[in-house]
Amino acid sequence: MSKGRVTVVDIALAAGVSKSTVSLVLQASPLVNEATRARVNAAIKDLGYVYNRGAANLRQSNSKSKIVGIVVNDLTNSFFAELAVGVDTVVQSAGFVQFLANTGESVDRQREVVASMHEHGISGLIVSPARGTEAADFQPLVNAGIPVVLVVRNVAGAKVSSLVSDNHSGSFAAVEHLVELGHRRIAFLGGFPDTAIFAERLGGYRDGMVKAGLVADPALVVGSAPSRAGGVEAIERALLLADKPTAAVCFNDAVAFGVCDGLRARRREPGLDFGVVGFDDVIEAKTAVPALTTVSVDPQGMGRQAAELLLKQINSGKVEAEAIVGAVRLVVRQSSGATLKLAKRRLAP
């Protein structure tokens, strides 16, 4: 077998087929029977071959790619749509083409799209990892000298750059705000418990409760899918408790919107009968009814910052891992009940 870069000839020898058969498999031709296709694909995987399928059509004359990949774990969440807009603003002005893919929290899907982007000759990758992602998933890109920036979620041991939010201080500030409004039974609703971001936001919530001298009752922590439907489910379960919460810090804005839906279904008005705080500050947070009190992450700003970090590494040719923790701030609106309390103060004699 040849040394250095794996070739089609190497694959053919390993699989015991002709070079033309390997080419047909790479082109997904129906002319190859399934047994042969499986044997060739096994050889491709074992040898770590990367098929540069069509990158030549999108490259400059100096053969340097002008493609940037962005892979997100849940494009149905408007946070990630805003993140992608922020990325696109920067990369487009720099003359790059953006390839966007959604994994739907599937590690297998993520591996497929990352491998495909690698085949197409991306210059760099921005990814919000799916649950269960391992450091080894990015090793082929690291080995090839392709810059990678992880956003929103980090992956332990991955030797790539990361840009995450200060999740702990965000949840801590949310609890402080609700305590100031007089709440004592404060729930933490939504999110997948097996993710680092959940642990960070939950940690901020618990520390905020302890600082306020309150019991961080485990029953008040209700995990769910970080979606609107998940928020409905979480508030339904929380309201079944004998000692019900009067307010909640939500894992993200999507969950918070679902919590508001669930409250209204039980004829409780968010901001009047129950305090709700989200996390992200997506565009809809400001225009929702009631407007959502939330921890602002600035998703478009995060996208722009991630893109700038990636382009810096692409243009310098130096892939040095950087870890950035972005600041957050609490944006107070109607859903937490703060404006109602202020109005009562103004009306008081």
The CATH code of the domain that includes 314 is 3.40.50.2300
If asked whether residues 181 and 236 sit together in one domain, one would say yes
Amino acid at the residue 119: E
The overall average pLDDT reported for the chain is 90
Give the whole-angstrom CA distance, residue 331 versus residue 339: 12
β-strands 275-280, 247-250 pairing: parallel
Give, in order, the Cα–Cα distances in Å from 100 to each of 33, 53, 94, 110. 32, 17, 17, 12
If asked whether residues 177 and 142 sit together in one domain, one would say no
- What pLDDT does 4 receive? 58
Give, in order, the Cα–Cα distances in Å from 40 to each of 2, 6, 13, 35, 181. 17, 14, 10, 9, 65
If asked whether residues 187 and 282 sit together in one domain, one would say yes
Residue 3 lies in a domain: no
Task: Count how many domains the chain has.
Answer: 3
Residue 333, helix vs strand vs coil: coil
Residue 216 lies in a domain: yes
User: Is the predicted pLDDT of residue 318 greater than 80, yes or no?
Assistant: no
Owning domain of residue 276? 167-298+331-347
pLDDT tens digits for range 9-45:
999 999 999 887 888 888 777 778 999 999 999 999 8
Tell me the longest C-alpha to C-alpha distance in the chain. 91
Name residue 329's beta-bridge partners: 296
Amino acid at the residue 293: T
User: Is the predicted pLDDT of residue 349 greater than 90, yes or no?
Assistant: no
Average pLDDT over residues 204-226: 96
More reliable by pLDDT, 54 or 83: 83
**How far does CA 153 lie from the centroid of its chain?**
6
Residue 257: which residues within 8 A CB-CB, separation 6 or more? 228, 231, 278, 284, 288, 292
If asked whether residues 293 and 306 sit together in one domain, one would say no
Residue 80 lies in a domain: yes
- What pLDDT does 55 receive? 46
Place of tokens 């997948």: 192
Name residue 180's beta-bridge partners: none
- In 3D space, the residue among 314, 335, 316, 304 whose CA is nearest the CA of residue 87 turns out to be 304
pLDDT band at 202 (very low <50, low <70, confident <90, very high): very high
Residue 296, helix vs strand vs coil: strand
If asked whether residues 41 and 149 sit together in one domain, one would say no
Give the whole-angstrom CA distance, residue 10 versus residue 298: 48
Instruction: Specify burial of residue 187 (Cβ count, 10 A radius: 0-12, 13-18, 19+).
Output: buried
If asked whether residues 263 and 306 sit together in one domain, one would say no
- What pLDDT does 211 receive? 97
Residue 52 lies in a domain: no
Q: Hey, what are 331's tokens?
A: 């944006």
pLDDT tens digits for range 272-306:
999 999 999 999 999 999 999 999 999 999 999 99
If asked whether residues 228 and 155 sit together in one domain, one would say no
> pTM for the full model?
0.79
pLDDT band at 53 (very low <50, low <70, confident <90, very high): low
Residue 342, helix vs strand vs coil: helix
Q: Hey, what are 243's tokens?
A: 């000692």
Around 233, how many Cα atoms within 13 Å sit in the side-chain half-sphere? 12
Residue 79 lies in a domain: yes
Share of the chain above pLDDT 90, in %: 75
User: Is the predicted pLDDT of residue 153 greater than 60, yes or no?
Assistant: yes
Average pLDDT over residues 152-159: 93
Residue 214 lies in a domain: yes
- What pLDDT does 320 receive? 82
Residue 100 lies in a domain: yes
User: Is the predicted pLDDT of residue 166 greater than 90, yes or no?
Assistant: yes
Query: Contact, 227 vs 255, CB < 8 A?
Result: yes
Give the whole-angstrom CA distance, residue 110 versus residue 77: 17
- In 3D space, the residue among 32, 40, 35, 37 whose CA is nearest the CA of residue 9 turns out to be 40
If asked whether residues 193 and 92 sit together in one domain, one would say no
If asked whether residues 179 and 288 sit together in one domain, one would say yes
If asked whether residues 36 and 86 sit together in one domain, one would say no
**How far does CA 332 lie from the centroid of its chain?**
24
Instruction: Specify burial of residue 111 (Cβ count, 10 A radius: 0-12, 13-18, 19+).
Output: middle
pLDDT tens digits for range 58-94:
444 344 578 999 999 999 999 999 999 999 999 999 9
More reliable by pLDDT, 240 or 57: 240
If asked whether residues 134 and 76 sit together in one domain, one would say yes
If asked whether residues 288 and 173 sit together in one domain, one would say yes
Average pLDDT over residues 243-255: 97
Residue 310 lies in a domain: yes
Share of the chain above pLDDT 70, in %: 92
- What pLDDT does 54 receive? 52
